[in-house]
């Protein structure tokens, strides 16, 4: 993209924006628009996981933080009448606060120990939701969650919600882009590439790991809150360990080393379970096959493969 002349870049960007804005009309099918909505939500969730991974950490409780945001927002809207537009941000803040509380403890651990503790936290979250029946209705979940509204505009319909989700995804990706190019983002890269060297250079590695964990988990909470008000129903099954695994696969397949990687992974893999809804076991097999194939051909993901092909085409030219 950077190698293209400036007018061509602007033309490509204009076409991309026009296609995104016209997508619901081009699809002309409520089911396909629903898949597009789920894809945009996953872009938010995987972008949050991408931020966490930038400090060399792998979180297996990303779905649990989405659940914290979803349940917080849904309960505030149902029990206290808080407007969904406000309750979603409170849900994101709740996920960030919980991430700060547990991150201050578990980020002392590294490698496989951190991964195991995040896995245990995800299981604890599920058990708490199941057992707090008076608050969460246990396995039955919360129903009739109010849809998102902004003034007199309702986002209850799939087409209207698409534009809300598109704006939310663009803002999250833009914020992350700015973050990764800030001094904090450069510190994230130092921690990821060589933690001992970063520590010996005077970088407060633990502080930046906590910062990345909090921001990424807050994005997860925001995505979970959006899910709650879009589907208007949540249960513990909405935020299982396998959802966390799916987000990790999306990030790895797309490419952990770039911001575009999480977006590409979500765009590529979100429709897969919907296409194979009648054969759920087959979708898990395909997830594994796609992951192995991508790691074998391009260990750094689809975005890295695209960069290689572009470099080869330039060399051939």
The reported pLDDT for the residue numbered 203 is: 82
Q: In this structure, what token pair is assigned to residue 194?
A: 């060589």
When mean pLDDT is compared over 220-234, 241-255, 269-283, the highest value belongs to 220-234
* 316 or 210: which leads in pLDDT: 210
The secondary structure of residue 236, as a DSSP letter, is G
In this predicted structure, which of 45-49, 122-126, 218-222, 297-301 has the lowest mean pLDDT?
Answer: 297-301
Whole-angstrom Cα distance, residue 283 to residue 263?
A: 20
Number of H helices, E strands in the chain: 15, 4
Domain that holds residue 198: 23-239
3-state secondary structure 173-189: HHHHHHHHCCHHHHHHH
pLDDT at 141: 92
Query: Is 156 inside any structural domain?
Result: yes
Query: Tokens for 58?
Result: 């792998």
Query: Can you give the pLDDT at residue 280?
Result: 60
User: pLDDT at residue 27 above 60?
Assistant: yes
| Contact assessment for residue 20 and residue 166, using Cβ atoms and an 8 Å cutoff | yes
pLDDT, tens digit, 9 for 90 and up, residues 212-239: 999 999 999 999 999 999 999 999 999 9
290 found inside a domain: no
pLDDT digit string, tens, across residues 130-177 = 999 899 999 999 999 999 998 888 899 999 999 999 999 999 999 999
- Determine, yes or no, domain membership for 229: yes
- The candidate with the shortest Cα–Cα distance to 239, out of 53, 49, 68, is 68
- How many domains does one find in the chain? 1
H helix or E strand, kind and range, residue 82:
none
Residue 153, classed as helix, strand or coil, is strand
Q: Which residues contact 232 (CB under 8 A, 6 or more apart)?
A: 143, 144, 145, 146, 147
Contact between 109 and 101 (Cβ < 8 Å):
no
Look at residue 298 and tell me if it is in a domain.
Answer: no
pTM (two decimals): 0.91
Q: Is residue 61 part of a domain?
A: yes
pLDDT exceeds cutoff 60 at 69: yes
Task: Give ∠ CA 77-47-129 in degrees, rounded to 5.
Answer: 40
* Residue 300 confidence (pLDDT): 75
Residue 198 lies in a domain: yes
The reply to whether 302 falls in a domain is no
Residue 80 domain-assigned (yes or no):
yes
Residue with more model confidence, 183 or 285: 183
Describe the crossing of helices 112-131 and 241-254 by its angle, rounded to 10 degrees: 140
Mean pLDDT of the chain: 87
Give the residue carrying structure tokens 């849900």: 91
Per-residue model confidence (pLDDT) at position 82? 94
Token pair 């986002």: residue: 155
Residues 77-103 have pLDDT tens digits of 999 999 999 999 999 999 999 999 998
Q: Is the pLDDT of residue 2 over 60?
A: no
DSSP category for residue 147: P
pLDDT tier for residue 295 given thresholds of 50, 70 and 90: confident
């Amino acid at each position: 993209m950077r190698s293209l002349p400036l007018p061509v870049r602007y033309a490509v960007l204009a076409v991309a924006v026009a296609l995104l804005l016209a997508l619901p009309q081009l699809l002309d099918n409520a089911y396909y628009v629903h898949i597009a909505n789920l894809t945009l939500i996953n872009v938010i969730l995987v972008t949050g996981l991408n931020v966490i991974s930038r400090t060399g950490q792998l979180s297996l409780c990303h779905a649990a933080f989405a659940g914290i945001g979803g349940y917080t927002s849904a309960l505030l809207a149902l029990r206290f009448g808080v407007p969904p537009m406000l309750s979603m941000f409170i849900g994101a803040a709740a996920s960030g606060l919980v991430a700060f509380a547990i991150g201050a403890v578990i980020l002392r651990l590294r490698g496989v120990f951190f991964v195991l503790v995040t896995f245990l936290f995800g299981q604890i979250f599920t058990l708490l939701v199941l057992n707090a029946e008076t608050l969460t209705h246990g396995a039955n979940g919360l129903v009739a969650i109010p849809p998102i509204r902004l003034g007199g505009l309702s986002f209850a319909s799939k087409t209207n919600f698409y534009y809300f989700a598109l704006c939310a995804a663009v803002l999250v990706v833009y914020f992350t882009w700015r973050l990764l190019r800030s001094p904090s983002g450069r510190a994230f890269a130092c921690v990821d590439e060589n933690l001992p060297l970063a520590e010996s250079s005077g970088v407060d590695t633990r502080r930046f790991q906590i910062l990345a964990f909090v921001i990424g988990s807050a994005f997860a909470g925001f995505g979970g809150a959006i899910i709650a008000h879009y589907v208007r129903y949540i249960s513990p099954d909405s935020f299982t360990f396998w959802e966390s695994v799916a987000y990790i696969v999306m990030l790895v397949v797309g490419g952990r080393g770039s911001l575009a990687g999480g977006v590409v992974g979500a765009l590529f893999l979100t429709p897969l379970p919907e296409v194979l809804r009648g054969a759920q076991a087959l979708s898990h097999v395909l997830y594994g096959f796609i992951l192995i194939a991508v790691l074998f051909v391009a260990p750094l993901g689809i975005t890295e493969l695209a960069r290689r092909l572009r470099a080869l085409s330039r060399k051939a030219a």
